[in-house]
Structure 1
Amino acid sequence: MTVIAFEDFAKVDLRVGRVLAVEEFPEARKPSFKIQVDFGSEIGTLWTSAQAASDYTPEELKDRLVIGAVNLGSRRIAGFTSQFLLLGVKAEDGGLSLLEPGRGGAVGGNVY
């Protein structure tokens, strides 16, 4: 484990967002979706790709509250521009479990 300064971690802007749209992403190497998330008026809507197609259906993702790192810059993935990092952990079954606020949260709210 690498220890970092708290000040470095504090630079990562983690926000609550609501999934607006989910599209198939057949160009990706692993089963993935293109996902559009609303992060509120300050950030707006951003797109990302996520290797979530084996673990979630588009219907399960639509309107779900999620957590994203919104200030890491863009990344090209299989010809698609991913604008933020959607956060998740490995589930007990080895699949993806997306991070979400357990008691809800305001869209655009900071994670602290």
Structure 2
Amino acid sequence: MQTEQTINWSDFTKIEMRVGTIIHAEVFKEAHKPAYKITIDFGPYGRYKSSAQITKLYSVESLPGKQVIAVLNFPPKQIANFYSECLVLGTVGESNTITLLSPEQPVPNGLRIG
């Protein structure tokens, strides 16, 4: 199966994918689709907020302390009354069930994915 679009190495290096640790999660009541508001610590890159539609596999209580991978250099996106500052990455399964991408072992916050 062929991928949708080919990029070159220069395109890939522009993407700021980094590891961070979720420090806070709450239900995003104003969102049209079930989602959480999460705050992620990326170490020297600071803390970013994100809206994540990950309610099928994760509870609010299970998220703090979990390391995730996110894209940091997208512009903020307004979702309802909230600005999502990064894109948390995950696989998209059946019925749009999202499984978060995370390092296999704990690593320092802010490490670049490459």
Structure 2 length-normalised TM = 0.91
Superposed, 1:29-108 pairs within 5 Å as 29-41=32-44, 43-91=45-93, 95-108=97-110
Give the aligned CA root-mean-square deviation in angstroms: 1.4
Q: Secondary structure at the match of 1:101?
A: coil
Q: How many residues align?
A: 111
Q: Secondary structure at the match of 2:11?
A: helix
In the alignment, which of 30, 39, 62 is matched to residue 27 of structure 1?
30
Where structure 2 has 5 or more consecutive residues not aligned to the other structure, the ranges are none
Separation in 2 of the partners of 1:87 and 1:58? Answer: 17
Q: Secondary structure at the match of 1:66?
A: strand
Where structure 1 has 5 or more consecutive residues not aligned to the other structure, the ranges are none
Superposed, 1:3-14 pairs within 5 Å as 3-14=6-17
Q: Structure 1: which 4+ aligned runs deviate by more than 3 Å?
A: 91-94
Separation in 2 of the partners of 1:96 and 1:3? Answer: 24
Separation in 1 of the partners of 2:46 and 2:40? Answer: 8
Shift of 1:104: 2.3
Residue identity opposite 1:69 in structure 2 = V
Separation in 2 of the partners of 1:90 and 1:4? Answer: 21
Q: Secondary structure at the match of 1:15?
A: strand
Structure 1 length-normalised TM = 0.92
CA deviations on 1:74-94 (whole Å, 9 max, x unpaired) are: 110112100000000024675
Aligned-pair identity (%): 36
